[in-house]
Chain A
């Protein structure tokens, strides 16, 4: 009989304690960011899709060694290059990143020995079409240079 009442009492107290906590939280400041109106800066190591690094002349550093293509576990890089007449080094002519399959693992960036690839800080990447995620990184680089 006693336990019957003590149980009710302790149960009630526990409910009031819980309500006390939510009451306190009610008057605490909000912690969220209203996304489209406020944005956070991405941290240095943030992994967006990959992008090419350009040298001083605005041309990609890439020497078309193809290591990144091989390292990629998801086969999402396809690149091509050609030797211009008179030139010694190969020049990149095509660098397609199939972002629909990229897992942002970083193998490509790590495998590149020529400082030619990096992660971008791009995260606003919504689209309704799949084709929009097949990135032409050369074109992106040109756009960035402009």
Chain B
């Protein structure tokens, strides 16, 4: 008993470290990537390739004074950034990085991650509401409608995958996709459902991940050209830092989920490449997805709030529902 408890604690510590490290260096990667896209060098002064930039930024943020605006709701104001970071870290505990690297596998892993993910938007609401700033409040209102609109198609596509796998256990879902790239849920020609509409589901899921993590082109909560900085307008110092890290941690979680549900998790794309350890494949897919996140952010303008809701209710939800029914039919047939 005590051993498992110890295991969990170690796992949580590792998860925090992984999340923090990822968050810090994804900021670096994003800045470098954006700079490359815009044909600038990006941060390149501190350390080789500017690799010391994230820790230095962190030190700078920590050295700043934590100010709380007058009239703000103190408790919520301080709780919000922590709440932004916490669910992301907790979700890492159940992500299987390979056959053997998983902190705590649960047979309801999918449900747990979605449960945590939906608390993420609470952080935005708290932050926006408590900081007593009109911009922040408008941003938090947007965040709620966005979260509601995008969790539905996301869950529906996930249910589709769960139906195919017949399990809510993340490891089981990955195992079902073993074989080759044609067994993966994104294009399961040889998979057990043969559902050729799955690429569409993948796109829907990916879009929803973008929206869920408040990334461009769905960064309506932040909308720096309209709402100044949205929900974190009033945050400075590490409060802002935690929001920032939370955003990147959420991106990692979202990409992990996409990898697991659609891209075959730790499975090699071709059977003869199976000698390379699974963790390599997992991280490769994960970081490719994250690179796409960054790439998208620096390509597109932002949507509007009604454009976003229209997209969700008129396109994503009907299509994902259709695919759900279609998959159910296919499972019955095969």
Contact = CB atoms under 8 A, between A and B. Distances in A.
Interface of A: 8, 12, 15, 18-19, 21-23, 25-32, 34
Interface in B28-64: 33, 35-41, 44
Nearest to A33: B41
Interface in B283-312: 295-296, 298-300
B196 interface: no
Contacts of A27: 36
Contact of B299 (A22, A29, A30): A22
A27 B298 CA distance: 14
Given A15-B300, A25-B36, A34-B41, 11 more contacts: A8-B315, A19-B296, A19-B299, A22-B37, A22-B295, A25-B37, A25-B39, A26-B36, A29-B39, A30-B39, A30-B40
A80 to B, nearest CB: 47
Contacts of B38: 25
22 contacts: A8-B315, A15-B300, A18-B299, A18-B300, A19-B295, A19-B296, A22-B295, A23-B295, A25-B36, A25-B39, A26-B33, A26-B36, A26-B295, A29-B39, A30-B35, A30-B40, A30-B41, A31-B40, A32-B39, A32-B40, A32-B41, A34-B44
A26 B37 contact: yes
Contacts of A29: 39
Contacts of B315: 8
Contacts of B296: 19
Interface in B129-172: none
A21 B39 CA distance: 13
Contacts of A12: 203
A26 B298 CA distance: 11
A13 B300 CA distance: 13
Contacts of A8: 315
Contacts of B40: 30-32
A34 B36 CA distance: 14
A28 to B, nearest CB: 6
A15 B311 CA distance: 14
A28 B298 CA distance: 15
A30 B285 CA distance: 28
